[in-house]
Amino acid sequence: MKNFVVGSDHGGLDAKAAVIALLEQRGATVMDAGTHGPESVDYPDFAVKVAGMVSRGEAEQGVLVCGTGIGMSMVANKFPGVRAALVTDQFMARMAREHNNANVLVLGGRVVDVPTAEKLVTAWLNATFEGGRHQGRLDKISALERELRLV
């Protein structure tokens, strides 16, 4: 099992705790990037921590949770090499891995309940990147990052 970094804002605390427990049960090493309390915080601060660690190779994969997941995914996808996918159902979670090789999964803590969040993470973890034509598409994303001098 890989090493993960997990972060949330105040809107994703319950889901974050459940995701960390699930990952640890599966034998993963998990770093908790916060937040740690119910006080209102700014989601970009936690997306930067998680996406930054994945981008720099300090964590292999990450999970982010905010109220809707929208803001977290916007921030995370600014980082070179990060492929953050906001998912709301198991099909999306599986495709995020199989076709897009997402290395950051993003959830909306006010959109999906905790049992659903656990199912989404499980579907993502159980899926395998298919490579082939999908790798060519990821190569285009990497080329764009180089062209825009993001790497």
The residues near 58 (Cβ < 8 Å, ≥ 6 apart) are 5, 52
Q: Is residue 66 flagged as an active site residue?
A: yes
Catalytic site includes residue 99? yes
Distances (CA, A) of 45 to 7, 54, 71, 78, 98: 10, 15, 11, 13, 29
The residue among 112, 56, 117, 55 whose CA lies nearest residue 84 is: 55
Sheet architecture: strand order including 3-8: 29-32, 3-8, 61-66, 104-108, 84-86
Active site residues: 66, 99
